[in-house]
Amino acid sequence: MSNKVFICGIDTSKLPKAKPQELIDLMTKIKHGEENAREEFIMYNMRLVLSICGRFQTTKNNIDDVFQVGTIGLMKAIDNFNPDIGVRFSTYAVPMIIGEIRRYLRDNNPVKVTRSLRDIAYRALSAREKLQKQTTDEPTIDEIAKELDIKTSDVAFALDAISEPLSLYETVYNDDDGNFLVLDQLKDPTNEDSWLEKSALKDALTSLDERERQILTLRYYEGKTQMEISSQIGISQAQVSRLEKNAIKSLKSI
């Protein structure tokens, strides 16, 4: 995404910037029904949408679609924002933009999930956000299950079902001999040596911190899901996903 300048026909290298007072004045005009002010305000906040899209972009997602959905979230935030609440517009808009993108990615997940399972997952995500606001910490699966009065295993299964699958052909490490794919990491029944025992990759793993190494080992050597890892090491599935992606990104940069 960082190399793509034109997104949805917009030259992102030339997106306009505005001073805080300009945005405040524009919002006042918007609340008085000035449509031109709304269009101008949207353009000034495209950089905000672009930065949020960067959190979600992968090789599987079309950045134009994600950016467009993020812009819809921006417009919803503009329409619902109350200047009297005493917070900056960006503070109010960010969770709405993120929520819009997340819903789009969940609904367009290539793995088909039953409606009942999806409903449990959405309730779990809402409960997670609620608990996080109360404690500022990432809630565990057990805490989410307790909040919903649902079995922990059901919550774990539902959240894992809507998580984005990782391609077997995703590159996780490369060296002079070529690329190591996720497919290469799967255990070969004819060879008792695992991918962790490949000397080059093993050396690369030493550059990761202990938690990241643990997650990659559980994920790819032992074949555990993110939700199983979450329960085993006592952090949220979102944290497991974030650490896994960071670890893979670090390996790619070596």
Q: List, for residues 122-176, the tens digit of each pLDDT value.
A: 888 888 888 887 876 778 888 888 999 988 888 887 877 666 555 544 554 454 5
DSSP designation for 108? T
Q: Can you list the alpha helix ranges (DSSP code H) found in the chain?
A: 20-31, 35-44, 46-53, 63-80, 89-107, 115-135, 141-148, 152-162, 182-185, 199-205, 210-216, 226-233, 237-253
Burial class (CB in 10 A: 0-12, 13-18, 19+), 220: buried
CATH number at residue 230: 1.10.10.10
Final residue before a domain boundary, out of 144, 162, 180:
162
Mean pLDDT of 176-204: 49
* 96 and 21 co-located in one domain: yes
Q: What is the extent of the structural domain holding 93?
A: 6-107
Q: Residue 241: CB partners within 8 Å, gap ≥ 6?
A: 163, 226
- CA-to-CA distance for 166 and 107, rounded, in angstroms? 17
Contact 243, 215 (CB under 8 A): yes
Residue 16: predicted pLDDT: 86
Looking at mean pLDDT, say which of 50-59, 93-102, 172-181, 202-211 comes out highest: 93-102
Mean pLDDT of 42-60: 79
Q: Is the entire prediction scored with pTM above 0.85? A: no
- CA-to-CA distance for 76 and 44, rounded, in angstroms? 15
Residue 71: predicted pLDDT: 92
Mean pLDDT of 180-208: 52
- CA-to-CA distance for 83 and 28, rounded, in angstroms? 8
* 127 and 82 co-located in one domain: no
* 103 and 137 co-located in one domain: no
* 184 and 102 co-located in one domain: no
Q: How many domains does the chain have?
A: 3
Confidence of residue 226 (pLDDT cuts 50, 70, 90): confident
Instruction: Please provide the average confidence, as pLDDT, over all residues in the chain.
Output: 76
End-to-end CA separation in angstroms for the chain: 21
Final residue before a domain boundary, out of 107, 137, 154:
107
